[in-house]
Structure 1
């Protein structure tokens, strides 16, 4: 047995090792995906009159591919067009996502596309976060995004958060804003405990014309694209667990009144 397959490897990059069975993502028994259309398995259709339809097929979402491949429970806290502001102000409450029976051990957050490019919202900084009163956060993307994390932490303090950056394309103007988004998420990961970055901006392939030909259906992904995204997310979490084993030793106690004082927690 080659134990090196299951521990941190020097100079390894996050997506060097693609897992096929979920890898150490399976340390979690429950994960929620907070996101927009790209987290919802959204497909585009075209009508005979030229109109375009948008359809959330959650069974095709990368979250549900993770659920089936890793054998864990994954909840979709997402919808096409979602922003951090809408999620925080109405969507989560309307759908019962703050309910105790929907608490999870981990949350993957994939928001920012509609906020920054659809609503042209200010990115903001971690200075927009009021650590003592989340309701006083500034009305920037950073403020609304952080408030979601803060709200979940009041209910599930030890939950793990994975913050997903946006992959690059050939559009350098958009890439610049995506880079600001990625920088913010790294600062968020330093600001909050039990929080990590899934950095597709730096480590995923560039989503260029050849990528879109294989993995896109219009402006959203096709089934193969959502499968590929699931593989990248699982492999990245596997990488994070292998490189921070002490951080994940007690995930089985998340939501439970137990802990092991001899291990980091």
Structure 2
């Protein structure tokens, strides 16, 4: 049996679309950190035109991935979330720094509600409390604090999808790329480069108002799972001991 196709060096992210989680299944616990789009938020509108926003976690793409891959997913998210709010208030209030909720992997999709600013120079690798109060500094601090809780965890940093690709989107992508280069065990899910374009036709199918519909969150789950599957297959050595993450054991070479 030829399995070389799994490790084809010419493969690009999302060339292989998985609907069963693929190699995401080797991750048993994953925390999804984000805003409304990570929370399965639906937008309603009454007869008077008043909008409502409702988080349905069972429709979040994280929970779709959990059902696909048979893993346990934590929703560390809420509509309107920012990196600053997560660090300074939300995670503390919700107890999301608690070691009992430590995960083997963290998928971070923050930025839609943030002021995208700062640079990698705002990140102090040795002491996260010295990070600058910018998007870059707060985003990195989230990773650094979870590294203290789960030192060998893997982190997947999600860019904005292919849409306007304006200066804000480009800056966010650049910041995530730099953070992934500076902090170990970090991988960028580069939707800005590889996702389908979120144009009018896409939105007609997968959005209601300004938020995704149920099919949109399922599509996103398959896309994120396919990208993580790609990352794992092309970095097998990095993930060879994922089963020991969260245990006192490892295979010392």
TM-score (norm: length of structure 2):
0.97
Q: Secondary structure at the match of 2:103?
A: coil
Q: Deviations over 1:206-247 (max 9, x none)?
A: 100000001001101001100000001100000001101000
Provide, for residues 73-99 of structure 1, a one-character-per-residue CA deviation record: whole Å limited to 9, x for no partner. 011000000000000001001111011
> What residue number does 1:3 align with?
3
Q: 2:149, 2:56 → 1: CA distance?
A: 29
- The aligned residue for residue 58 of structure 1 is 57
CA distance in 1, matches of 2:252, 2:67: 34
Q: CA deviation at 1:2?
A: 4.2
- For residues 77 and 130 of structure 1, what CA distance do their matches in structure 2 show? 24
Consecutive unaligned residues in structure 2, runs of 5 or more = none
Does the 8 A contact of 2:24 with 2:229 survive in 1? yes
1:112 alignment partner in structure 2: 111
Which residue is 2:196 aligned to? 205
3-state SS, counterpart of residue 205 of structure 1: coil
Partners of 1:16 and 1:154 in 2: CA distance: 35
Residues 21 and 229, structure 2, Cα contact 8 Å, conserved in 1: yes
Aligned residues: 253
Secondary structure of residue in 1 paired with 2:202: helix
Q: For 1:10 and 1:130, locate their aligned partners in 2 and report how far apart those are by CA, in whole Å.
A: 34
Name the CA distance, whole Å, in 1 between partners of 2:2 and 2:76: 38
**Post-superposition CA distance 1:89-122 (Å, at most 9, x none):** 010011110111100000000001100xxxxx24
Partner Cα distance (1:108, 1:164) in 2: 7
Equivalent position of 1:194 in the other structure: 185
SS state of the match for residue 147, structure 1?
helix
* 2-structure distance, mates of 1:184, 1:242: 25
Quote the residue 1:221 is aligned against. Answer: 212
CA distance in 2, matches of 1:81, 1:122: 15
Task: Point out 4+ residue stretches in structure 1 off by more than 2 angstroms.
Answer: none
SS in 1 for 2:113: helix
In structure 2, how many angstroms separate the alpha carbons of the residues matched to 1:67 and 1:108?
Answer: 13
Secondary structure of 1:245's match?
coil
Displacement, 1:48?
1.4
Q: Check if 1:261 corresponds to 2:252.
A: yes
Which residue number corresponds to residue 130 of structure 2? 136
CA shift, 1:10, in A, is 2.4
Question: How far did residue 126 of structure 1 move?
Answer: 1.0
Give the TM-score normalised by the residue count of structure 1: 0.93
**What do the CA deviations read for 1:149-174 (whole angstroms, capped 9, x no partner)?**
111111111000000000122x35xx
Which one is further off, 128-137 or 154-163?
Answer: 128-137
